[in-house]
């Protein structure tokens, strides 16, 4: 099922711990940023991962990632992360996520005053049973929320 939803936006600031000695965001940290944005996207529906696991036995695991890096983020940049559900299936979701540098809070690296796309990723997440780690359907109440948001 195609579910291309409108983007969910979440802002973060780049801290020293996110960067290498040159003040550039370490490439693997984009995966952390994307994970945080997906968690906040889930919260926007009123769901918390620990509560879902405790009440339904469902947890989400990343099956696949692919990230294209276009421009570096730097110390003190303000980033806008987006989450779009590209495909929604019974037990999995494919996301398209982007990281944008915002001109209002950058670390002095934006010249043109416009947001700049820094990285784009496609991430596949599978719903699994927390005990067996075997795929299982996404809990119906969450699945309905995602479908209704599309």
Residue positions annotated with a catalytic role? 20
CA distances from 4 to 18, 63, 146 (A): 30, 19, 10
Q: What distance in Å separates the CA atoms of residue 4 and residue 46, rounded to the nearest whole number?
A: 20
Can you tell me which residue has the tokens 């992360």? 81
Q: What distance in Å separates the CA atoms of residue 43 and residue 48, rounded to the nearest whole number?
A: 6
């Amino acid at each position: 099922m195609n579910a291309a939803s409108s983007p969910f936006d979440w802002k973060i600031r780049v801290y020293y711990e996110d960067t290498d000695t040159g003040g550039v965001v370490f490439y693997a940290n984009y995966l952390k940023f994307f994970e945080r944005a997906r968690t906040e996207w889930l919260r926007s529906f009123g769901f918390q991962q620990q509560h879902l696991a405790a009440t339904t036995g469902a947890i989400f695991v990343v099956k696949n990632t692919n990230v294209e890096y276009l421009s570096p983020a730097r110390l003190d940049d303000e980033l806008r992360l987006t989450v779009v559900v590209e495909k929604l299936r019974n037990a999995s979701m494919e996301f398209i996520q982007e990281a944008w540098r915002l001109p209002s809070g950058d670390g002095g690296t934006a010249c043109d005053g416009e947001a700049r796309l820094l990285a784009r990723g496609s991430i596949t997440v599978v719903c699994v049973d927390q005990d067996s780690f075997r795929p299982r359907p996404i809990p119906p109440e969450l699945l309905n929320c995602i479908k209704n948001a599309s």
